[in-house]
Structure 1
Amino acid sequence: MRWGLCSLGPGPAAVARIWGLPRFPCSLGWRGRTRGFVVRSVTGASSQLPSSSNGRYRDTVLLPQTSFPMKLLGRQQPDMELDIQQKCGFSELYSWQRERKAKTEFCLHDGPPYANGDPHVGHALNKILKDIANRYHMMRGSRIHFVPGWDCHGLPIEIKALSELGGNTQNLSAMEIREKARSFAKAAIEKQKSAFIRWGVMADWNNSYYTFDGRYEAKQLRIFYQMFEKGLIYRSYKPVFWSPSSRTALAEAELEYNPEHISHSIYVKFPLLKPSPKLASLIDGLSPVSFLIWTTQPWTIPANQAVCYMPDAKYALVKCSTSEDLYILAADKVTPVASTLKTTFEVISTFSGADLENGTCTHPLTPGKASPLLPANHVTMAKGTGLVHTAPAHGMEDYSVASQHNLSTDCLVDEDGVFKAVAGPELENKAVLEEGTDAVIKMLRAAKNLLKEEEVVHSYPYDWRTKKPVVIRASKQWFVNITDLKATAKELLKKVKFIPGSAQNAMVEMMARRPYWCISRQRAWGVPIPVFLHKTEDKFLINSQTVEHIVNLVEQRGSDVWWTLPPEQLLPEDVLSQVGGPDALEYVPGQDILDIWFDSGTSWSYVLPGADERADLYLEGKDQLGGWFQSSLLTSVAVRRTAPFKTVMVHGFTVAEKGEKMSKSLGNVIDPDVIINGGQDPSREPPYGADILRWWVAESNVFTEVTISSSVLNAARDDISKVSRYCF
């Protein structure tokens, strides 16, 4: 047999652990367990075999004999590993095992790493874990089905590609952006692929999958249309996470939360306009009365359409000892709010939230404009006053309230995150998170409706790539109706094995909290949503004929056709004649692209061998519980009514020696290439070779955060040396 799975240095047991094999792996020219290892000398290294103190029993025990040295110094280790990989035919192992007879097949579906940078230790942890799983099942007699892949589209790649150009990139055409992004992604793929091969990952590297491949894109578009036909994909005007710095909608998985974000929090008065019958009897002869509101997003006040309360909670009418003004707020919040405002409240009466029904208050910035008092389930007593300012264009729960009560959902903020002209001359063209916030606070103060302003440090969503804050903003987007998929998905997850088991509940909880899935993005580098928009009316064109025509074009020439072909060629002749013909075409191609989670989430359709096939294993980091695991599940359930996986294994992240997150700014990033080949200063960054890297993975508890540092690597090297002495 010619597997060539081990490197020089460690003995058989050590190598077995490193490469995920049973106790007796093959080495150079292995000819049977009782006949020993073929001997090859190592230049510059001692080949002296170790001896016991007296050597009395050496000749009576049958042990493998080898001139493999106990230790390779400096560059000898990585250089010898490369030599072994070439001579042992590492590159042929995957195809060899595919050709052998096997009763079972083990399919590990490779989640695509993102093609936006150099390989890092997170890649090493993930890829080596997968390789250990594959080799384990191979040695148990299974044929391995493993197709490595890359996630190639999306905003992070587009931003990095454009950043390399420098200067003004605003005037670049969509095709210029796409060409730059494609070149960047291809270069990143080659770097990562070389690293994965060097780490000894078993695969047919000439037959990987790429999400920018035309055949892959065509399958993805077919899934999109299947879901659209079933009513699971729709276009709607809704609030979504919006990145002003990237000028696009973002999914929850594309956010990172900055715990040190500073916002302006304000306490605002909403003067009572029309009391409910119960409230009227309580305040008879008392005036003025105002509802007390707290928010950390002052810029949303101009878009206010209502004030929400909790129907079952107790509320109080209080008198402020400082101003003698009358306020209404939750009874449980009277003392803490008074303390914050540095005053005391005298409780005049209490009543149920339901007693506020049919009342209205006055908008604090627009005299005469009514803001109705409405019951809502999302109101809590955790923070604030128990009364919630509601701006339907800037909150998911707010939008839900607006839908129930026919409130306006007009958005006053544009794609750059600045106030539109309709917001008024005092706010127009002001960035909502900067001078726009200051302007709103100034206006509230002038209207005498501002009680307190202070800075608050809290967790706030940021764009995962630009590292700048996002806003919630209503816009027209494409959505997946996951409400109709959740129940089936949850039932199917009960039949999936999770390692560790707690990951199952975490994934179910994340999915349960997800209100909808926005799958459209306003960028150029991605798969186009195959929809034509009417030039003058608010309607669109998509049907089986148009999609099949586009799919065929994409399959043959890639998704660039959406930007390179004239619109009349993107439509089949029969449809073209019905919508004005080539000279008076009523529709134009839409400019939205698909979310990259939809891109990668449909990979099962391209990689799994059969229409109903499920992978035996999905193995990724814990962040994919809300990312690739979830998007793969939802798309598979939508199209096939089955999960794409039988087992899901979740590992932790790599962290530095003291458990801190790795970052370039902290200077604690460890490069796998430096681990293997050494750094500029060998005394500080010695070359460990790939065996040490694999040992680190094999020996770690991967279900928690996985520590890597020079001391951890030194310990791994010592472990291998000890095992080598034991084995030889």
Structure 2
Amino acid sequence: MCADTPEYKDTLNLPKTDFPMRAGLPKREPGWLERWAQIGVYDKLREKEGRTPFTLHDGPPYANGHLHIGHALNKILKDMTVRSQQMMGKDARYVPGWDCHGLPIEWKIEEQYRKKGRNKDDVPVVDFRQECRKFAEGWVDIQRDEFKRIGITGNWENPYLTMDYHAEAVIADEFMKFLMNGTLYQGSKPVMWSPVEKTALAEAEIEYHDHQSHTIWVPFEITVVRGHGLDTHSRDLVEARVVIWTTTPWTIPSNKAVAYNPKIAYGLYQVDETEEESWTKPGDLYVFADALAEDALGKSRVTKFTRVRDVRSEEFEGMHLKHPFYGLEGADRFWDYDVPMIDGDHVTDDAGTGFVHTAPSHGADDYECFVARNWIDRMTHNVGEESEFLPHVPFFAGLKVFNHKGKEDKANNAVIAKLVECGGIIARGRVKHSYPHSWRSKAPVIFRNTPQWFAAIDRAVGDGQDAHGKTIRERALNSIDKLVEWTPQTGRNRLYSMIEARPDWVLSRQRAWGVPLTCFTKKGLLPTDEGFLLRDEAVNARIREAFEAEGADVWYAEGAKERFLGNDYNPEEYEQVFDVLDVWFDSGSTHAFVLRDREDGSEDGIADLYLEGTDQHRGWFHSSMLQSCGTKGRAPYRGVLTHGFTLDEKGNKMSKSLGNTVAPEQVIKQYGADILRLWVAQSDYTADLRIGPEILKGVADSYRRLRNTMRFMLGSLNDFTEDMRVDPSEMPELERWVLHRLAELDQKVRTGFDAYDFQGVFQALFNFATVDLSSFYFDIRKDALYCDGDSLTRRSALTVLDILFHRLTTWLAPVLVFTMEEVWLERYPGDESSVHLTDIPDTPADWLDADLAAKWAQIRQVRRVVTSALEIQRRDKVIGASLEAAPVVHVRDGEALDALKSVDFEDVCITSDIVLSGDPSPAEAFRMPEVDGVGVVFEKAEGEKCQRCWKILPDVGNHSHAGTCKRCNDALG
């Protein structure tokens, strides 16, 4: 629709805008960031009064490296949440934070020491802690700039850091609440221990990888059979041996029992024949689970065997065994003790022998079996912090399970060799299985019994009086079910099952960089004795005050014990605890020093939303729940949103070694941050998200299409003024249909933003912009916008474009923060102008018109048939443009025909003329199977081509302006 002659072209209302087709985002985005900083957009939003607060509490990333794509995904989702809630009328607050204590940072400093040949243990602890603090400060600054570059809004000038003095004081205070409410205790139980990092690890710090382990089948001689009412033939068991199977040979020296399951069928088996080389011999008797006997005997190279009889579970009651190392010369009777048979539900006949070697110091199930029998005094302490056998263990002292690099060392093979030497093994092998590793060092861990500090989650908290439960577990489970909304709902099930089954919380770590466990123990007393833990509010108050003023380093200062105990206690009678708190306790306490204590926190100390990846069900969601239920009595959040992980385009986990990582910095450098944000908005974050070069190309294409939509609106609105505005009631139907669609979308956008359904919102807006607007409404109204004079149609279209502008820019601003700012400033330049200071406009409900929408749905269906018929003519070069056509459209349905006749259907189809008929479609008519009852017969338009609007009409050339139609002639005046 462009004039053929220069003089007429100048009379058209063609779009005029400086808004470029090419975005140039990588170069231009930093300028908008500077502009927002100068304006103080985040602070200005806080000045808006009378709004309902909305607080998204930031889960703190570690300050120890550049951002990866998972960081970008997480922060963009948070940003879209905060911005959308703000633009819907809330006071949406976002205080970014960082986790600054703990092993990740301490590990980095140790790596620096190792490169310089220094030993961490030779450095004064406060000096070491100061180096950790300095390291964290540097990365906080780097990550802050990287997050801001992605367009994340928030209180960047005053974030929260877990190493701030106030934060350290509050973390210590929250710990001392556990001390005072009776849930803190010191216990000795097996925990997951990293020999590389030399500390206990929480479940949240564990990831599982394939690991090849030794497997051994070990026979235990039966020494005592004293079951209840046993038949005399049970005496034959004295000649038999019970066989266990294990993948951790190094735990055999710590064996204290063998477990069976009364529900399993067992049998007594005799070896008849063996291969030439076998650790068994004919006549040997063994007890196995029936389901596993053949496999186990086959592994021991038995070629023929006889099942002698059933072995009833009652026969195991009161049975005692010999340890495989019983009576060894040179062991000084170290293993000369009875090994009881015990029943346990954890024993299965899925693999092994149907009997479980039980070392309570090195296994969770093993430990629980001993706790249930009150056998805690039988625990062993045979393995040290480097996974080495301690000096008192015969034969194996000093041998390690894993070396300092996490590789297998000598312990397993030494134990196996000793078993072979003393006839204590009948088979061995290897198995690849899923095994726990530290998520930091990536090295395998061991279960190791060590004295640790725990929070009891099934012990009554204080006086046990609380609306949500007496214990931490009860409060947590009730919070999950009654107080928290989960997005997606599957998050509820995952956290519920984890907390339902979890053991007590291990709070202590044997490291240096963290908040210490600020407590004292009475010398000479056992952990179970009354008075073992010093509980004194005056002591606690002195600790809080000192930490607030000087930070947690004061705990390590000379004279700290005397300072905190004061004059009321003799320092010589107390031990000061120097373990540090699990960093998950730090981050789990953030609700107290951020939500509760800050002015920009939450009025009730509870967040509206926690938003993190699925791994945080065992991490921050979990620890925050436990910590808050121990001190506040309920969850610290009302809502939890969970997102998936990032994968490459093929669905593979990203890895530097595979070369398939996508760094946010690379995407921003090539495309701009808005493309990264658009990738998030287009993705289903409830599942794992894929990203890669081809995916990003598709995202960039979607962006270009949206940009073209915005550019058309800007160009068309260049001459729009308020006095041209038309009331909706006076608009043509097509414009009122657009307003109806806007009212529908407004509901979908607001509902979607409230449900954090960014993909649903964006998809609806993208389809509207590209299908309803660019391919339909804009396509139709270009003629009126370009060629009409001061007509009602043109003014109505401009009014609708203005309405569209204000809604699309604000609807899309939470996603495309830079581009919508650019679009906004193109119309509203000014020193303090910003789309991000604007709310989503209210959309009148009376714009909804279901009847009109149904009518135009019919019209669009018929239009599809017409445009498809004309496309064939264009393809066959019968016509060059649709304005050369004047088709005859046959419509069988009378209601649909009336609808078409009530509008300018030729304008809707972008033809110069159109004939509508209720007659049956002739045989040659074009039809579409999916649109029943419509046929189109192609006819060329009659008349001359208007040199201004290009329509072919009979009246062209009959007006004062040469070569024009009446509409164009009138427009020219």
Same fold (TM over 0.5): yes
Q: Which has the larger radius of gyration?
A: 2
2: distance between equivalents of 1:216 and 1:658? Answer: 43
Match runs of 1:451-470 below 5 Å: 451-470=426-445
1: distance between equivalents of 2:674 and 2:384? Answer: 54
Query: Which residue matches 2:836?
Result: none
Identity among equivalent pairs (%): 37
2: distance between equivalents of 1:709 and 1:241? Answer: 36
2: distance between equivalents of 1:415 and 1:286? Answer: 40
Please state how far the C-alpha of 1:281 moved relative to its aligned partner.
2.9
Query: Which residue matches 1:347?
Result: 307
Please state how far the C-alpha of 1:311 moved relative to its aligned partner.
2.1
Query: Which residue matches 1:654?
Result: 646
Kept after mapping to 2: 8 A contact 1:249/1:520? yes
Kept after mapping to 2: 8 A contact 1:91/1:204? no
Please state how far the C-alpha of 1:280 moved relative to its aligned partner.
6.2
Kept after mapping to 2: 8 A contact 1:567/1:589? no
Match for residue 548 of structure 1 among 538, 541, 546: 541
Please state how far the C-alpha of 1:381 moved relative to its aligned partner.
2.1
- Residue 690 (str. 1) matches residue 673 (str. 2): yes
In structure 2, the CA distance between the partners of 1:58 and 1:122, relative to structure 1 (3 Å rule), is farther
1: distance between equivalents of 2:535 and 2:133? Answer: 28
Kept after mapping to 1: 8 A contact 2:455/2:507? yes
Kept after mapping to 2: 8 A contact 1:652/1:704? yes
Please state how far the C-alpha of 1:558 moved relative to its aligned partner.
0.5
Q: Which amino acid aligns with 1:157?
A: I
Kept after mapping to 1: 8 A contact 2:55/2:602? no
Query: Which residue matches 2:224?
Result: 274
Match for residue 513 of structure 1 among 501, 517, 520: 501
Q: Which amino acid aligns with 2:490?
A: S
Query: Which residue matches 1:684?
Result: none
TM-score, normalised to structure 2, is 0.65
Kept after mapping to 2: 8 A contact 1:266/1:295? yes
Kept after mapping to 2: 8 A contact 1:312/1:354? no
Kept after mapping to 2: 8 A contact 1:282/1:349? no
Kept after mapping to 1: 8 A contact 2:51/2:89? yes
- Residue 421 (str. 1) matches residue 391 (str. 2): yes
In structure 2, the CA distance between the partners of 1:471 and 1:623, relative to structure 1 (3 Å rule), is same
SS at match of 1:164: helix
Please state how far the C-alpha of 1:230 moved relative to its aligned partner.
1.7
Deviations 1:33-91, CA, capped at 9 Å, x for gaps: xxxxxxxxxxxxxxxxxx8798999999998x53111114xxx4222111122235577
2: distance between equivalents of 1:57 and 1:597? Answer: 69
Please state how far the C-alpha of 1:336 moved relative to its aligned partner.
3.0
- Residue 158 (str. 1) matches residue 106 (str. 2): yes
- Residue 70 (str. 1) matches residue 70 (str. 2): no
Query: Which residue matches 1:264?
Result: 214
In structure 2, the CA distance between the partners of 1:85 and 1:353, relative to structure 1 (3 Å rule), is same
Please state how far the C-alpha of 1:624 moved relative to its aligned partner.
0.2
- Residue 447 (str. 1) matches residue 427 (str. 2): no
Kept after mapping to 2: 8 A contact 1:287/1:326? no
- Residue 311 (str. 1) matches residue 254 (str. 2): no
1: distance between equivalents of 2:367 and 2:639? Answer: 37
In structure 2, the CA distance between the partners of 1:515 and 1:444, relative to structure 1 (3 Å rule), is same
Query: Which residue matches 2:776?
Result: none
Kept after mapping to 2: 8 A contact 1:90/1:202? no
Structure possessing the higher relative contact order (Cα contacts under 8 Å, 6 or more residues apart): 1
How many residue pairs match? The answer is 657
- Residue 486 (str. 1) matches residue 473 (str. 2): yes
Please state how far the C-alpha of 1:532 moved relative to its aligned partner.
2.6
SS at match of 1:541: coil
Match runs of 1:259-408 below 5 Å: 259=210, 261-277=211-227, 281-285=232-236, 288-322=239-273, 323=281, 324-343=283-302, 344-367=304-327, 368-407=336-375, 408=378
Query: Which residue matches 2:688?
Result: 705
2: distance between equivalents of 1:461 and 1:111? Answer: 25
Bigger Cα displacement from structure 2, 142-151 vs 372-381 = 372-381
Please state how far the C-alpha of 1:288 moved relative to its aligned partner.
2.4
Deviations 1:432-472, CA, capped at 9 Å, x for gaps: 34211111111111111201111111111112222221111
In structure 2, the CA distance between the partners of 1:174 and 1:286, relative to structure 1 (3 Å rule), is closer
CA RMSD after TM alignment: 2.3
TM-score, normalised to structure 1, is 0.86
Deviations 1:315-364, CA, capped at 9 Å, x for gaps: 11111233231111222222332343343442211133233111111111
In structure 2, the CA distance between the partners of 1:610 and 1:660, relative to structure 1 (3 Å rule), is closer
Please state how far the C-alpha of 1:489 moved relative to its aligned partner.
1.1
- Residue 567 (str. 1) matches residue 560 (str. 2): yes
In structure 2, the CA distance between the partners of 1:572 and 1:723, relative to structure 1 (3 Å rule), is same
1: distance between equivalents of 2:400 and 2:39? Answer: 55
In structure 2, the CA distance between the partners of 1:564 and 1:60, relative to structure 1 (3 Å rule), is farther
Bigger Cα displacement from structure 2, 126-135 vs 510-519 = 510-519
In structure 2, the CA distance between the partners of 1:523 and 1:280, relative to structure 1 (3 Å rule), is farther
Query: Which residue matches 2:138?
Result: 187
2: distance between equivalents of 1:52 and 1:657? Answer: 44
Kept after mapping to 2: 8 A contact 1:605/1:611? no
Kept after mapping to 2: 8 A contact 1:102/1:141? no
Query: Which residue matches 2:45?
Result: 97
Query: Which residue matches 1:21?
Result: none
Structure having the higher helix fraction is 2
SS at match of 1:246: coil
SS at match of 1:107: strand
Kept after mapping to 1: 8 A contact 2:264/2:349? no
Kept after mapping to 2: 8 A contact 1:312/1:352? no
SS at match of 1:188: helix
Kept after mapping to 2: 8 A contact 1:503/1:650? yes
SS at match of 2:611: strand
2: distance between equivalents of 1:698 and 1:244? Answer: 42
In structure 2, the CA distance between the partners of 1:276 and 1:312, relative to structure 1 (3 Å rule), is farther
Kept after mapping to 1: 8 A contact 2:269/2:308? yes
Bigger Cα displacement from structure 2, 508-517 vs 263-272 = 508-517
Q: Which amino acid aligns with 2:509?
A: R
Match for residue 666 of structure 1 among 658, 666, 689: 658
Match runs of 1:124-273 below 5 Å: 124-165=72-113, 166=115, 167-170=117-120, 171-259=122-210, 261-273=211-223
Kept after mapping to 2: 8 A contact 1:242/1:249? yes
Please state how far the C-alpha of 1:117 moved relative to its aligned partner.
0.8
2: distance between equivalents of 1:180 and 1:54? Answer: 75
Bigger Cα displacement from structure 2, 535-544 vs 143-152 = 535-544
Please state how far the C-alpha of 1:502 moved relative to its aligned partner.
1.0
2: distance between equivalents of 1:449 and 1:54? Answer: 101
Please state how far the C-alpha of 1:589 moved relative to its aligned partner.
2.4
Match for residue 551 of structure 2 among 550, 558, 570: 558
Kept after mapping to 2: 8 A contact 1:354/1:375? no
Kept after mapping to 2: 8 A contact 1:365/1:447? yes
Query: Which residue matches 1:721?
Result: 704
Kept after mapping to 2: 8 A contact 1:463/1:469? yes
In structure 2, the CA distance between the partners of 1:443 and 1:488, relative to structure 1 (3 Å rule), is same
Superposed structure 1 runs of 4+ greater than 6 Å apart: 51-63
Q: Which amino acid aligns with 2:543?
A: I
2: distance between equivalents of 1:452 and 1:57? Answer: 94
In structure 2, the CA distance between the partners of 1:88 and 1:172, relative to structure 1 (3 Å rule), is closer
Match runs of 1:618-633 below 5 Å: 618-633=610-625
